[in-house]
Amino acid sequence: MTSPASASASASGVGFRSERGPILIALMLTTGLVAIDSTIVATAVPSIVRDIGGFSSFPWVFSIYLLAQAVSVPIYAKLSDMVGRKPIILLGIGLFLVGSVLCGFAWSMPALILFRVIQGLGAGAVQPMAITIAGDIYTVKERAKAQGYLASVWAISSVVGPTLGGVFSSLGIWRGIFFVNVPLCALAVWMLLRAFHEKIERAQHRVDYLGASLLTVALTLLILAVLEGGQAWAWDSPISVGAFAIGAVLLVLFVLVERRAAEPVLPTWVFSRRLLLSTSLISFGVGAVILGLTSYVPTYLEGAAGSSPILAGLALACLTLGWPVSASQSGRLYLRVGFRTTVLIGISVTVIGSVLLLLVVHAPSVWLVAAVCFVIGLGMGLVATPSLIAAQSSVEWNERGVVTGTNLFSRSIGSALGVAVFGAVANAIYARTAHGDQVPSVIVSASAAVFAAVVVTAVLVVVAVLVMPRVRGAAAPATGPVAVPAVD
């Protein structure tokens, strides 16, 4: 059993000037590593390919990173409940730093892909640990505002990332997109070492090596099959069928092993509690909706409205601008009406925004799409943040890491499946016309089909929200049954 030390009462308040301000800044810096990386690399792809070649393999630069990040999240989450958050987030930053430096020196596409695995393993620790630490050091009332700060990093990164990537590419120094992580990692580590302290009660733990191995291999095969199905190979090809079959068998074996493990890496109770199961399903839907929009809104605007990539990216950025605005204010709402009602309001706004996007798809307008994306972002902020806080607030400190990790892992799986399903829908329409992905009318039809699928997904999330039990924010423990980490 691990438990942090008590925080002083003077550590109240959320913001940079509060006593916990240095920790919040450090968490925002670490979150920024993952957020910027998700946008900066895409803009540099042409320059990378021109320099080291491997055009046919460059999609793996993204797929392998997402894969490594997704499969490692549950393992890091469990370890953080055993040894504390600080060692795990520092490990994640270290791996991300090493991976970034190696990527900067990559001499070929296979080498770059290999080094992206190391980056992804680091990201798998950084993002969930930042959110978990915020859940540890802030009360239920404060967490929404704290999560709003973290969400704002994604909004800033959606603008800064593509801009930096474009600058480095235009200057012919694409390797800089990886080296820029070095000072950020160093600063984040320094601030965490200086400001964030945990007092851990040392106890004997039995690491579930077998369960971790089975889970990693099973998820690797399944996520890889979903990410590359219909792209690198046909859905009905032997490699696709084999990956799904073997992954499913290993997943069944994993469940059997976890039932007998002394300290399972992913406890079955996570899926047996109604609140945790429903919030995981909600997070799954959030991942699918967000990826559906981020993947196809720019394509739609560039192909149908003739907008520039920068303008299309800025329109999409409105999605991530609306998110932190509502997320930071959601605490006031869920403390009054409860988590379930707050999330229901948020998903209702998301459904309305998605329907509006579908209605305007045949009249391409960058500004109209930007406005609709902002509305959807407002809804998502009232869905993702309160549902995550509801899950975190229902468990003790030594379970919060697993719960947070499971929630974010569900979002990653939803994103992977969303990319596969929406991609299959769009590709089926493109295939009906020669060079259909270059014909504006066909792009509009394909985008309309994808946006319709997004509407359906959002409606399914409504069902998951209705399954969520009623829990009032004021009734939840302020910081969980145990105290929060000590703050200097």
Specify whether 243 is located in the same domain as 349: no
Q: What is the per-residue pLDDT across 105-119, written as a single tens digit (0 to 9) for each?
A: 999 988 999 999 999
Specify whether 318 is located in the same domain as 463: yes
pTM of full prediction above 0.75: yes
165 versus 52: the higher-pLDDT residue is: 52
- The Cα–Cα gap between 133 and 285 comes to 24
- Report yes or no on 159 lying in a domain: yes
The pair of structure tokens assigned to 23 is: 């920790």
Looking at the predicted structure, is the pLDDT value of residue 408 above 90? no
Specify whether 255 is located in the same domain as 124: no
Q: What is the per-residue pLDDT across 257-285, written as a single tens digit (0 to 9) for each?
A: 888 887 787 787 888 889 999 999 999 99
- The Cα–Cα gap between 173 and 323 comes to 33
Task: Collapse the DSSP code of 480 into the 3-class scheme (helix H, G, I; strand E, B; otherwise coil) and give the result.
Answer: coil
- The Cα–Cα gap between 95 and 105 comes to 16
| pLDDT average, residue stretch 354-373 | 90
Tokens 């229901």 correspond to 344
End-to-end Cα, the chain, rounded Å: 24
Specify whether 472 is located in the same domain as 408: yes
Whats the size of the chain, residue-wise? 488
| pLDDT average, residue stretch 420-435 | 81
Specify whether 17 is located in the same domain as 166: yes
Q: What is the per-residue pLDDT across 224-252, written as a single tens digit (0 to 9) for each?
A: 888 777 777 888 889 989 999 999 999 99
User: Residue 452 sits in which domain range?
Assistant: 272-481
Q: Which secondary-structure segment (H or E) carries 333? A: helix 309-337
pLDDT at residue number 376: 95
pLDDT at residue number 55: 65
Specify whether 246 is located in the same domain as 176: no
Domain boundary among 184, 205, 226: 205
Q: What is the per-residue pLDDT across 134-164, written as a single tens digit (0 to 9) for each?
A: 888 888 888 888 888 888 888 788 778 777 8
Specify whether 172 is located in the same domain as 240: no
Residue 86, CB-side half-sphere exposure with 13 Å CA sphere: 21
- Residues whose CB is less than 8 angstroms from the CB of residue 426 and which lie 6 or more positions away in sequence, other chains included: 296, 446, 447, 449, 450
**Mean pLDDT lowest among 169-173, 254-258, 309-313:** 309-313
The pair of structure tokens assigned to 115 is: 């080094």
**Mean pLDDT lowest among 100-104, 122-126, 374-378, 428-432:** 428-432
- State the CB neighbour count (10 A cutoff) for residue 470: 11
266 versus 389: the higher-pLDDT residue is: 389
pLDDT at residue number 226: 80
Specify whether 157 is located in the same domain as 298: no
Q: What is the per-residue pLDDT across 127-136, written as a single tens digit (0 to 9) for each?
A: 889 988 988 8
Percentage helix, strand, coil for the chain under 3-state DSSP, each rounded to 5 = 80, 0, 20
Phi and psi angles of residue 377, each rounded to the nearest 5 degrees, phi first: -60, -40
Cα dist from 315 to 255, 299, 393, 443, whole Å: 43, 12, 35, 18
- The Cα–Cα gap between 283 and 293 comes to 16
| pLDDT average, residue stretch 211-226 | 85
Specify whether 369 is located in the same domain as 284: yes
- The Cα–Cα gap between 479 and 142 comes to 10
Write the DSSP assignment of 225-244 as a string of letters. Answer: HHHHBTTTB-TTSHHHHHHH
Specify whether 333 is located in the same domain as 186: no
Looking at the predicted structure, is the pLDDT value of residue 5 above 60? no
The pair of structure tokens assigned to 70 is: 């997704």
Q: Are 353 and 372 in contact (CB under 8 A)?
A: yes
Confidence of residue 121 (pLDDT cuts 50, 70, 90): very high
pLDDT at residue number 473: 55
The mean pLDDT value of the chain amounts to: 83
Closest residue by Cα to residue 155 from 375, 318, 380, 349: 318
189 versus 434: the higher-pLDDT residue is: 189
Task: Collapse the DSSP code of 253 into the 3-class scheme (helix H, G, I; strand E, B; otherwise coil) and give the result.
Answer: helix
At residue 296, what is the residue type?
Y
The pair of structure tokens assigned to 395 is: 């468990």
pLDDT at residue number 8: 37
- Report yes or no on 173 lying in a domain: yes
- State the CB neighbour count (10 A cutoff) for residue 239: 14
Domain boundary among 244, 262, 280: 262
CATH assignment at residue 461: 1.20.1250.20
**Mean pLDDT lowest among 183-197, 374-388, 467-481:** 467-481
| pLDDT average, residue stretch 212-218 | 87
Residue 422, CB-side half-sphere exposure with 13 Å CA sphere: 28
Specify whether 162 is located in the same domain as 242: no
- State the CB neighbour count (10 A cutoff) for residue 481: 11
